[in-house]
């Protein structure tokens, strides 16, 4: 059995973008198993895929805040022991950063593969690989990673669209009322849609006897969700949830409306109809990749109106019916 180590540590969307390459390798090679080095906050994700044997959490973000403590030293030592417990047939650095190369790829035992210096975000990182590959930047991140895996492991890249391979991990459940999820929160202010527009959209959707569910990740996001829901029927502000719990909610939604953020990519990985709003970013290279994905792309977020979103939602409902 081929045993491969993947280095893809963060962030949420980037980690998800790695999954279709695992599905490709699993189908092409059959008897293959992956260990995956990933930031502790995203350690739930690799375990959703059937090709992953072991998740190796790393905590660079947390460790650098408390570098010289005994606890950090002990955790770093335990991490190195886990990473170096096996010699791998291949170590693939899909992150392409100096920190991933220094703190993970360099330490893993086995032949190391990655992007060449013209195809990588931080060219110095390519010095840590035994073999490098030229992979065009002008394509979606999912396709770049699929090509990196195919060239590293020596199989032909499938012509079909990438498959995340995690839908079957989440059980289908049936709500008494079909619901739509609003992914309203993101870290960058220029990616936000106006709260008043979310409120108007909620009014329109709930009038159709559909429920709207609102996830959140911190107190500020919770307050926004509660403001959007206030005074409207068929609104549910979800409890604080793990990634797995959120994925279960998303997997069973009729549709999702989202800003450009990690949970939008999670929705795409679950093949759920998703209308993603782009104003500050361009979806060409890092947009939501998958089935039933719809982009609303304007010059800025304030240019996106409720009517645009409703039109796309109606299209997604019709497409979903046709698929059935």
Q: Global pTM? A: 0.95
CB 72 within 8 A of CB 63: yes
Q: Which residues contact 61 (CB under 8 A, 6 or more apart)?
A: 10, 39, 41
Q: Spell out the residues 6+ positions from residue 261 whose beta carbon is closer than 8 angstroms to its own.
A: 13, 183, 185, 186, 187, 191
| pLDDT exceeds 70 at position 266 | yes
Backbone angles phi, psi at 179, to 5 degrees: -135, 155
CATH architecture classification, 2-167? 3-Layer(aba) Sandwich (3.40)
Instruction: Kindly report, residue by residue over 72-95, the tens digit of the pLDDT.
Output: 999 999 999 999 999 999 999 999
DSSP 161: P
Q: Which of 227, 152, 308 is nearest to 295 (CA)?
A: 308
What lies within 8 Å, CB to CB, of 175 at 6+ separation is: 211, 252
Pick from 220, 217, 226, 172: which is nearest to 198 by CA?
226
Confidence of residue 323 (pLDDT cuts 50, 70, 90): low
Q: Do domains 2-167 and 170-323 have the same CATH topology?
A: yes
Give me the half-sphere count of Cα atoms (radius 13 Å) on the Cβ side of residue 295: 18
Nearest to 219 by CA among 211, 230, 210, 227: 227
Q: Would you tell me which CATH number, out of the four given (1.10.8.870, 3.40.50.2000, 1.10.10.10, 3.30.70.520), belongs to the domain 170-323? A: 3.40.50.2000
Q: For residue range 149-208, list pLDDT tens digits in order.
A: 999 999 999 999 999 999 999 977 776 789 999 999 999 999 999 999 999 999 999 999
Q: Domain map of the chain by residue range?
A: 2-167, 170-323
């Amino acid at each position: 059995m081929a045993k491969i180590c993947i280095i893809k540590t963060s962030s949420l969307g980037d980690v998800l973008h790695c999954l279709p390459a695992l599905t490709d390798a699993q189908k092409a090679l059959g008897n293959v198993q992956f260990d995956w080095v990933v930031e502790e906050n995203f350690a739930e994700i690799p375990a959703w895929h059937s090709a992953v044997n072991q998740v190796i959490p790393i905590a660079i973000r947390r460790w650098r805040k408390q570098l010289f403590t005994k606890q950090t030293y002990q955790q770093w030592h335990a991490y190195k022991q886990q990473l170096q417990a096996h010699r791998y047939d291949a170590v693939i650095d899909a992150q392409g950063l100096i920190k991933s190369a220094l703190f993970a790829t360099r330490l893993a035992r086995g032949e190391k593969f990655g992007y060449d210096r013209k195809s990588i975000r931080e060219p110095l990182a390519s010095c840590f690989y035994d073999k490098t590959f030229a992979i065009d930047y002008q394509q979606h991140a999912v396709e770049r990673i699929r090509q990196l895996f195919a060239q590293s492991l020596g199989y032909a890249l499938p012509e079909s669209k990438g498959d995340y391979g995690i839908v079957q991990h989440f059980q289908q459940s049936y709500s008494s009322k079909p619901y739509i999820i609003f992914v309203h929160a993101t870290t960058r202010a220029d990616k936000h849609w106006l709260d008043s527009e979310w409120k108007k959209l909620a009014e329109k959707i709930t009038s159709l006897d559909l429920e709207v569910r609102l996830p959140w990740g911190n107190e500020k996001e919770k307050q926004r969700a509660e403001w959007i829901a206030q005074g409207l029927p068929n609104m549910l502000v979800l409890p604080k949830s793990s990634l797995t719990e959120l994925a279960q909610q998303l997997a069973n939604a009729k549709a999702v409306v989202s800003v450009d953020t990690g949970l939008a990519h999670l929705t795409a990985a679950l093949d759920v109809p998703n209308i993603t709003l782009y104003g500050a970013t361009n979806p060409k290279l890092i947009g939501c990749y998958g089935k039933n994905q719809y982009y609303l792309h304007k010059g800025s977020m304030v240019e996106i109106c409720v009517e645009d979103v409703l039109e796309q939602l109606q299209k997604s409902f019709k497409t979903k019916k046709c698929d059935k």
